[in-house]
Each structure stands twice: as structure tokens, then as C-alpha cells.
């Protein structure tokens, strides 16, 4: 299932504290904004996965307008998206043999250059699908 929740990024002298006002206990921290974005997605995914697995009720997200009116000067809202179906699929991550037909000359040239065909195909498909 795909979820969208606002996180509060609170800047302090050590970096950022991140909380999700609609999800009690869904907290993390980071040293810079790039790490804050990564960590907030990670903690949101984990929180929602566990909630789904335990059949716990998941609060509906508040609106930007509702949350924004209570922010302090050192806080900003950031919309974070989590897709629990995608996370589960990634965790399974079982490799499957897939037959591919290529021209012989391309295979010969690839072998000569020591190309790992499986790795290259995986990377190309991930790039095409905009997957990390």
C-alpha cells in the first residue's frame, strides 16, 4: 500500500530530529538534510510495515495546512512517501533465471570486455523503472 505522511524536520545544533505527528513513536534523526530524507523514508516504511503486519490501526495523515500552523521557526514539513508493497517485494529479492536472446556478435564482444550480462541487465531495468 502507498502512504503519504508529513514529517517534521526540526533543525538543531547536531543536525535534524524527524517526527511524524500522525504516527506516535515514528521518530529518527540525521546529521544533514540528505540523511534526514533517507532516514525519514526508512523509519516510515518500517513503522508502517510493522503496523500492517500486526493489524494495528494506521492513522490517516493530517493536511499540510493543519500541521503547518503549529510549526516553530526551526521546523519544516516534508512530505514522505512509503510503499509497503514495494518494500516487501524488495525484501524477497530472490534472483530468477531469465533467458534473453541477443545477437552472437554482441555476446562475443561482451565476453571479450568481461561484461557481467546479468548485472548489466539488472542495472538497465532498474534505471528504466527509476528504482534505486
Mean local confidence (pLDDT), 104-130: 90
Instruction: Say what percent of the chain tops pLDDT 70.
Output: 99
When pLDDT is averaged across residues 32-37 and rounded to a whole number, the result is 96
Which pLDDT band holds residue 34 (cuts at 50, 70, 90)? very high
As a whole number, the mean pLDDT across the chain is 93
Question: Could you give the domains of the chain?
Answer: 2-91 (3.30.160.250), 95-128 (no CATH)
Task: Give this prediction's pTM.
Answer: 0.72
Q: Residue 79 above 80 pLDDT?
A: yes
Reported confidence tier of residue 129, pLDDT bands at 50, 70, 90: very high
Asked whether the predicted pLDDT for residue 98 surpasses 90, the reply is: no
- pLDDT of 97: 77
As given in the structure block, the three cell numbers for residue 85 are: 508493497
Of 61, 3, 9, nearest to 30 by C-alpha is: 9
Residue 107, C-alpha cell as written in the block: 555476446
CA-to-CA distance for 10 and 5, rounded, in angstroms? 16
pLDDT at 113: 92
Amino acid at each position: 500500500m502507498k502512504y503519504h505522511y508529513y514529517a517534521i524536520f526540526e533543525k538543531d545544533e547536531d543536525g535534524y530530529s524527524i517526527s511524524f505527528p500522525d504516527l506516535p513513536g515514528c521518530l529518527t534523526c540525521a546529521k544533514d538534510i540528505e540523511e534526514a530524507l533517507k532516514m525519514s523514508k526508512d523509519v516510515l516504511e518500517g513503522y508502517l510495515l510493522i503496523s500492517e503486519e500486526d493489524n494495528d490501526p494506521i492513522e490517516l495523515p493530517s493536511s499540510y495546512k493543519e500541521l503547518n500552523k503549529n510549526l516553530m521557526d526551526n521546523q519544516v514539513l516534508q512530505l514522505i512517501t512509503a510503499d509497503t508493497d514495494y518494500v516487501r517485494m524488495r525484501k524477497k529479492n530472490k534472483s530468477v533465471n531469465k533467458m534473453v536472446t541477443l545477437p552472437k556478435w554482441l555476446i562475443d564482444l561482451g565476453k571479450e570486455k568481461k561484461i557481467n550480462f546479468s548485472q548489466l541487465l539488472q542495472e538497465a531495468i532498474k534505471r528504466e523503472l527509476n528504482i534505486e
